[in-house]
Structure 1
Amino acid sequence: MAACQTSGPTFSKRGEEYRSAREIAAAKRAARKSGHRKGKYAGGVTGTSKDRTSRTRMPSGNLDREVATVIEAARSYTGVPYRWGGTTRVGMDCSGLLCTSFQSINVDLPRTSDEQSRYGTEVKPKDLREGDLVFFGSSKRNITHVGMVTEVNGPSDVRFIHASTSLGVIENNLYAKHYQKIFVKAVRPPVF
């Protein structure tokens, strides 16, 4: 199984150097301290907040700073293809996405979705909030997939980010029929 950290630089596109979620978060903190609101964002898009695509949209302003940082780091991987055991922009699996995203706040999440399902306090679906982890599988004993809540827009519109085997890193509605069939539980990590 791959570790959450890479030993050296990885290139996502020819000539473009890979930046880890931790590096992205550090650059954003530095930009905030200097008071810049325009410039280069995690997804590589430049301009004002009106110019940003859904790929780089910011979490709502009332979120805890650490939750917002983790969500922003996860969203920076939107579109990265699925790769079992992957933790880089070349390829990412579901638990690797969360492991790498949580590193942006210096938290080492367990590596597998099954281990992550035991990391924190179980939460009822009606009490979900941004940063909570959602787990999928055939039963509580067979957790096979994980995602992280990015937006709670109402009782039937809860968005989560995950690494889909067919579409790569993407956000979906937890209440879509497919995800409701395989939803097992939700957990709030102890860091929030």
Structure 2
Amino acid sequence: MKLVAAKVPISTVWTAPDAPRDVDAPATAPQPDVPAWAAAMDTESRLGLHGRTLTQLLFAEPVLVRSERDGWSEVLAPWQPSSGDALGYPGWVPSSHLGELPGSATDPVAITVPNAPLLAEPAAGIPVLTLSFGTVLASVERDKGYTRVATPDGGSGWLPDHVLRLASEPSTPDDRLRLGRLFLGLEYLWGGTSAYGLDCSGLTHTVSRVLGMRIPRDAHDQAATLRNIPIEDAKPGDLYFYARPGKPVHHVGFVSPTGMLHASETGKRLEDEPIPADRRATLVAAAQLA
């Protein structure tokens, strides 16, 4: 296996090379246009992603390539822990979305706004790329309100400091809710981990990544590995987990003063709402993030 990195802003991970449909062409193009893809899909198209998409890689995220076939790479994503493979979340991406790992640098920084321009030079006009919330990059130097970051294939670029936080910076439960609320009203996207669409565990995983915590990608793995606490002891910023009788955990959200901040399901939008009786009936566990 070889270690490489996503060289596009967002690469969607698929169950197999033949999983994408015609409507998914913008997401699988050599230069994917995930905002256009998300905007073009109606609810029926989004429901059709079940069994096709798994997760998403963000710019410069490392992956292990297990095999290659017909322009596709079978990968493992170590930043997304999964019970599916001890080395990382498994799936397939177009090989054109992958490049060499960024060069050595220090002090990882994370993008804390929905999207941010990567510039060729500080304060230099048109962005080279637009990067999503949750993107983590290694910093190289800082200069007058900008940070230079290492990028795949030996490059670098600049980001304004006000869109970044150091991954090592301490965080609080309030930070989780503040960042999650950036996406209130965002339409649910199965497998989504970006500012253009999130699923339930994509929200909790990506917010945690920004705050320097690497937690599993899927809800059932989060429930199995994070520190469980009594449901009645859960406080805002903790996690609630839901499961039907005899079934694995299928849903997760942040506990909030209102009830729960979560990406609900396909056809709905990210919301912070009181927990309705039918959902509360399937509340089975709570966990605390470090």
TM-score normalised per structure 2: 0.44
Residue of structure 2 in register with 1:163 after alignment:
263
- Report if aligned partners of 1:18, 1:89 keep a CA contact under 8 Å in 2: no
The alpha carbon displacement at 1:139 in A equals 3.4
Specify which of 67, 71, 80 is matched with residue 177 of structure 2: 71
Which structure has the highest helix share of the two?
A: 1
The alpha-carbon deviation at position 5 of structure 1 amounts to 3.2
Give 1:100's aligned residue: 206
Aligned equivalents of 1:116, 1:93: Cα separation in 2: 14
Residue number in structure 2 paired with 1:90: 196
| Distance in 2 separating the partners of 1:85 and 1:138 | 21
Question: Structure 1 or 2: larger strand share?
Answer: 2
Q: Describe the shift of the 1:103–1:183 C-alpha distance in structure 2 as closer, same or farther (beyond 3 A).
A: same
Query: 1:131 and 1:184 mapped to 2: Cα distance?
Result: 17
Q: Which runs of 5+ in 1 are unaligned?
A: 31-63, 152-157
Q: Which residue does the alignment assign to 1:185?
A: 285
1:138 partner SS: coil
- Deviation at residue 147 of structure 1 after TM alignment: 0.5
Paired AA for residue 139 in structure 1? P
- Between 1:165-174 and 1:79-88, the stretch displaced more is 165-174
Q: Which runs of 5+ in 2 are unaligned?
A: 1-53, 61-96, 98-110, 117-126, 137-160
| 1:90-169 pair list within 5 angstroms | 90-139=196-245, 141-151=247-257, 159-165=259-265, 166-169=267-270
Partner amino acid for 1:20?
A: F
Please list the CA deviations of residues 61-105 of structure 1 after superposition, one character each: whole Å capped at 9, or x if unmatched: xxx942222211111111111111011122110000111111121
Query: Which residue type is aligned with residue 133 of structure 2?
Result: S
Larger-gyration structure (1/2):
2
Aligned partner (choices 80, 95, 98) of residue 186 of structure 2: 80
- Identify if the C-alpha distance between structure 1 residues 80 and 6 changes in structure 2 by more than 3 Å, giving closer, same or farther: farther
Note the C-alpha offset of 1:111. Answer: 0.4
- CA–CA separation in structure 2 for the residues paired with 1:69 and 1:79: 19
Aligned-pair CA distance for 1:150 = 2.2
Establish whether residue 27 from structure 1 lines up as the match of residue 133 from structure 2.
Answer: no
Question: In structure 1, how many angstroms separate the alpha carbons of the residues matched to 2:216 and 2:243?
Answer: 18
Hey, what does 1:5 align to over in structure 2?
58
The Cα RMSD (Å) is 3.2
Partner of 1:172: 273
- Per-residue Cα deviation, 1:115-140 (whole angstroms, up to 9, x for no partner): 01023222222211122110112036
Q: Which amino acid aligns with 2:162?
A: A
Contact 2:241–2:251 at 8 Å: present in 1 too? yes
Q: CA separation in 2, counterparts of 1:149 and 1:89?
A: 21
TM-score, normalised by the number of residues in structure 1:
0.64
Q: Which amino acid aligns with 2:268?
A: L
- Between the two structures, name the one with larger relative contact order (CA 8 Å, sep ≥ 6): 1
